[in-house]
Amino acid sequence: MNTLVAVAIAPFGVGDELSKEVAEVVKVIRDSGLPNKTYSMFTEIEGEWDEVMKVVKNATFVLAEKGIRTEVIMKMDIRPGYNNMMTEKIDRMENQMQK
């Protein structure tokens, strides 16, 4: 089932500047091959449920396996019969603004 997830995966308790660790997480997500977009606070990933959850796990464990306490915040949209939600949801909203 197609799943859109907004996820924030970050180290906890390792200092004020987290860009190095966050870059490691985002690299795992980008290397997955699933559609994704990174913003200042979340990364969106879209795909089948099991594929998306595997990417979230792998991205989380890239830090956790180094012994780093890792915080995961996740919001999911499971909408049967819909694909390309990452772009189409925005397109529908933009179309409404044109009316």
Digitized pLDDT (tens) for each residue of the chain, 99 residues in all = 999 999 999 998 777 788 999 999 999 999 999 999 999 999 999 999 999 999 999 999 999 999 999 999 999 999 999 999 999 999 999 999 998
HSE-up (13 A, CA, CB side) for residue 74: 19
d(CA 80, CA 99): 27
Strands 43-48 and 70-78, how do they pair? unpaired
The C-alpha atoms of residue 90 and residue 70 are separated, in whole angstroms, by 30
Give me the pLDDT at residue 63, please. Answer: 96
Domains and CATH numbers, the chain: 2-97 (3.30.70.930)
The Cα–Cα gap between 53 and 48 comes to 9
Q: How many CB atoms are closer than 10 A to CB 43?
A: 21
Structure tokens at 81: 């019969």
* Residues 39, 45, 46, 49, CA torsion sign: negative
**Residue 43 · residue 29 · CB < 8 Å:** yes
pTM of the predicted model, to two decimals? Answer: 0.90
